[in-house]
Amino acid sequence: MGERAVSLSSLGLTARSGANPRITGIAVDNRQIRNGFLFAAMPGSRVHGATFIQYALEMGAAAILTDPAGARIAAAALAASDAALVVTDAPREALARTAAIWFGAQPATMVAVTGTNGKTSVSTFVRQIWMEMDLPAVNLGTTGVEGAWTAPLAHTTPEPITLHRTLAAAFAEGITHAAMEASSHGLDQRRLDGVTLTAAGFTNFTQDHLDYHASFDAYFDAKAGLFARVLPEDGVAVINIDDPRGIDMAAIAKARGCAVLTVGRDGGDLHLDAQRMDATGQDVRFSYRGKTYQTRLNLIGGFQADNVMLAAGLVIACGGEPARVFETLVHLKTVRGRMQLAATRDNGAAVFVDYAHTPDAIATALAAMRPHVMGRLVAIVGAGGDRDRAKRPLMGQAAADHADLVIVTDDNPRSEDPAAIRAAVLQGAPGAFEVGDRAEAILRGIDALGPGDALLIAGKGHETGQTVGDDVLPFDDVEQASVAVAALDGRLA
């Protein structure tokens, strides 16, 4: 970033003093500041970034971007410096747009998906459809950057500098199409405000993240920002109208002037008419603008058909020819950690791993598995520490309502007492077994499987670590399930 320099004003920023220094880079971490950098001192949940303005100036920052509170916090340091000061009531939005201008490129066709559940699956399916259509594509989100170009990501929706650096790198690698997840945190913090979208999708809305958002309404408003603010007026909103809040999202998009393409079972432009389940997937029948189609989905879970329909709708919204889009659906593959077949016992019992970590996601996953399973349905559930506590008994209840046998275990306890978290989950599933050690819980769950049974290991999905205190211990549900099956069926001998 330090190899070039542009004026502060060319980044869309105006300093209080009228100064217009040459900017050689942007950073939100004062430790990354170099001579000529713009330091974005953002308000944080615990510490205001303005606390570090003095250090940024000592490192050679040429300009500071912050809010009025930040300017007050660092008033003394700023008064003693000739660095340009940009103060705005919307510093996160300013940072997002500045980062977009600084990095200067993104894939030409981009979509974003929001909703409580299904974001990763929908964005991954969008990318798979594009690649089946021979278009160089990636998806960005919980599982990193995947597709025709790959890269790691630390957050579902990265902060703007990381996001736009990644998008520019993807563009440089020849990526023309990208699908990204839009988390409520990312939308609330304006991380997507500098991204130019062709279309945006809405999956569903259920309880989650009330540890971050002040209320259920605030959580909804954060997600609605994708359609009320980020999606341009000439963009297309693709909305699941089966969800009770889908109508609200469609109305918000229409009020902005966006075209709306609806997806649903009870109506919609892209309408799912029927499903027939079997042990390895499902056949689906659907219609689009008066024409009926039928295809095979090698995916477990009825809800996956909803995700596929939304993904197809997004590709169509971006100009994909409908019949060609629908031809690709038979080739879609399970998303890593999303209703993923992890192992199969010698007696035919199947073990699945899924990222379901909300009450609705657990209920949906188990209910969707039921038509595929001839025997008993066993569920392993837990809840993460330092997150929404109200959902814990609801998660236990969801598992108890939909599974024949429930084992409550540890997820990512983080700084909390694991036993206390398990006790909260057990309040909703009083008949469940409690096995604190996750590896032992998986072993016991698999050992309980008879012919025709199936096990769902919920909560961690694609994750390869378990956070206990400040430590991240290696742990992969898929790997653990494979080892347990091998041990129980005598394959390790």
Q: Which residues are annotated as a binding site?
A: 115-121, 156-157, 183, 189, 191, 387, 411-414, 459, 463
For residue 463 the two structure tokens come to 């994750």
Q: What is the DSSP string of 226-272?
A: IIIIIS-TTSEEEEETTSTTHHHHHHHHHHHT-EEEEEESSS-SEEE
Identify the bridge partners of residue 147 per DSSP, sorted by sequence position: 138
What does the angle CA 221 – CA 223 – CA 225 come to, to the nearest 5 degrees?
A: 70
CA dihedral 134, 136, 140, 144 (to 10 degrees): 100
Determine the Cα–Cα distance for residues 250 and 241; give it in Å rounded to an integer. Answer: 8
Cα angle at 367 between 333 and 124, to 5 degrees? Answer: 25
Spatial separation of the C-alpha atoms in residues 393 and 8, rounded to whole Å? 51
CB 447 within 8 A of CB 488: yes
Structural contact between residues 341 and 364, judged by C-beta atoms closer than 8 angstroms: no
Query: In 3D, which of 120, 290, 109, 121 has the Cα closest to residue 195?
Result: 109
329 Cβ neighbours under 8 A, 6+ residues apart: 129, 295, 296, 297, 308, 312
Six token digits for residue 267: 């109506």
Rounded Cα–Cα distance for residues 6 and 159 (Å) = 22
Binding residues for ATP: 115-121
* DSSP codes joined into one string, 415-443: TS-HHHHHHHHHHT-TTSEE--SHHHHHH
Known binding residues for meso-2,6-diaminopimelate: 387, 411-414, 459, 463
- The amino acid that residue 281 corresponds to is G
In terms of C-beta density within 10 A (0-12 exposed, 13-18 middle, 19 or more buried), how is residue 235 classed?
buried
Q: Which two tokens stand for residue 152?
A: 């790691």
